[in-house]
Structure formats: structure tokens, C-alpha cells
Amino acid sequence: MDETRVTSVELHKRLGELIDRAMTEPVMVTKHNRDHVVLISAEQYAALRMSSLKPRKTGSLTQEERAAAMSAQVPSRPEQKRYLKNLAAAVEDMAGQTPD
């Protein structure tokens, strides 16, 4: 599926046009050179919501999903602490950035 990519500044300038475009394809909005949000049609959003609410039986998993589940491990306490420390630092960095 094709997608249009625009900056948040472009979004503000071309909002009406990009809303119309989102009816037929996703519009990826970037901020600080990172993917930030995606505009999609209400119909696409409803389909995504419904698909995420459907329960899946274990037997419906793909081979890759089964392999990932079988190899999954809970990180050690030090790894968990390191991850949370890095996450907190990233949140602090994001809080200090100015918006476009």
C-alpha cells in the first residue's frame, strides 16, 4: 500500500488536501525527522480496531510467531532496570525538545 510522507509543518499548510488523500492511502506525518502519526480513513481505522479485538487461537499463529513465542525470555532484573533507565532518559530528552 502506498503512503504519502509529510512533515508536521506541511500538514498544517495542506491539511484539507492531506485529509482527502488519507481517504485512499495512509499519510505519514514526521516530526524531527521521525515518524510521528499516521492519518487514515475512518473506515481503515475501524477495520484495524476490529482486527485487533478478534481473539486468535494458538493454532492460528504463523511459524515465525510460534518460534518467537517459544524463544521469548523474561529479561534479568539488571536488564529490566537498564531498559527502564534508558526509557526514562529518552522521555526526558523528548520533553526537552521544541515542537516543529
Backbone φ/ψ region at 33: left (φ over 0), alpha (ψ -120 to 50), beta? left
Q: How far apart are CA 39 and CA 10, in angstroms?
A: 13
Supply the DSSP symbol for 32. T
pLDDT 10s digits, 19-75: 999 999 999 999 999 999 999 999 999 988 887 777 767 677 888 988 998 899 999
Q: How far apart are CA 31 and CA 29, in angstroms?
A: 7
Second CATH level (architecture) for the domain 1-53: 3-Layer(aba) Sandwich (3.40)
Q: How far apart are CA 66 and CA 86, in angstroms?
A: 29
pLDDT 10s digits, 71-98: 999 999 999 999 999 999 999 888 877 6
Is the full-model pTM beyond 0.75?
no
CB-CB contact of 44 with 23 (8 Å): no
Count of residues in the chain: 100
Residue ranges of the domains in the chain?
1-53
